[in-house]
A = this chain, B = another copy of it.
């Protein structure tokens, strides 16, 4: 089999553009994306907020956070634009009502019906009940064939129970350096003698075609068959929380793939003239949609990181990335010839 030719960054962004729904007068609330971030516990409130906020700022119509009640009180104060639901429980809460993960997960699972895509993990923590509840939600999302991003302590779950995600090709894992190493160990993937792109592809194959975004100085993106590298210039500050801009951007791209699959806009009536996008006569496969979403979100995040770093230098905080999201979209997807 001849190797699949690797598209240029420009081609990848142009292809991603094909499935981004245009903003049309006739559309109604929710069609540009209804997403949720599952995470937020006693220890972490920033991560799920940054992720949900990024999803909203990139263009999702409705962004939810589902978290532990104390965390919910705090996350609600960060922004009235995000809907925050106190549906999760940590182990120490169960003394009150002795609830099981199955019972606790039910309210979130009911909400899934109204969502296009979810992120699991930012600020989830490692509490056993939180992990078990997240596992129930993953199972339910899989049963609905829902695209999902797994990050942070969601990857801790995957590392401990790989079978929960193995073979589910609508999932994207977004490990940083340390998380990637732990996933490789869990899947017995030996990085010895391989370059970074090859190890990423090996891990994606070990997970049965799940897409992996290995974050680093360059982001490697692989579904096991095709591997892309996203090396747009990013910032040099690696402060905590920047990965949440990636997961939030990504879940919005995944919601857009759903809009594309559902053909919510009239392809035949829409050409490049009408809305500035090319109409999608050439259908994109599920696996392409995943890879292109991953590349698009990585490019958006790296753009935000670079511009925020240019402005703030060492003082850069995760919140500085959020404010660049609108500009990132305009630059990468609405500009004639973005410098890539």
Contact = CB atoms under 8 A, between A and B. Distances in A.
Contacts of A84: 43, 45
Given A42-B85, A59-B237, 6 more contacts: A49-B80, A56-B317, A61-B237, A83-B240, A314-B329, A315-B329
Contacts of A195: none
A294 to B, nearest CB: 19
Contact of A82 (B30, B46, B49, B79): B46
Interface residues of A, number: 61
Given A319-B80, A329-B314, A329-B315, A236 B25 contact: yes
Contact of A313 (B27, B319, B326): B326
Contacts of A85: 42-43
B326 A62 contact: no
A228 interface: no
Interface of A: 23-32, 42-46, 49-50, 56-62, 70, 73-74, 76-86, 176-178, 216-217, 236-242, 312-315, 317-319, 325-326, 329-330
Contacts of A319: 79-81
Contact of A45 (B61, B80, B237): B80
A49 B73 CA distance: 15
A240 B76 contact: no
Contacts of A73: 70, 73-74
A318 to B, nearest CB: 6
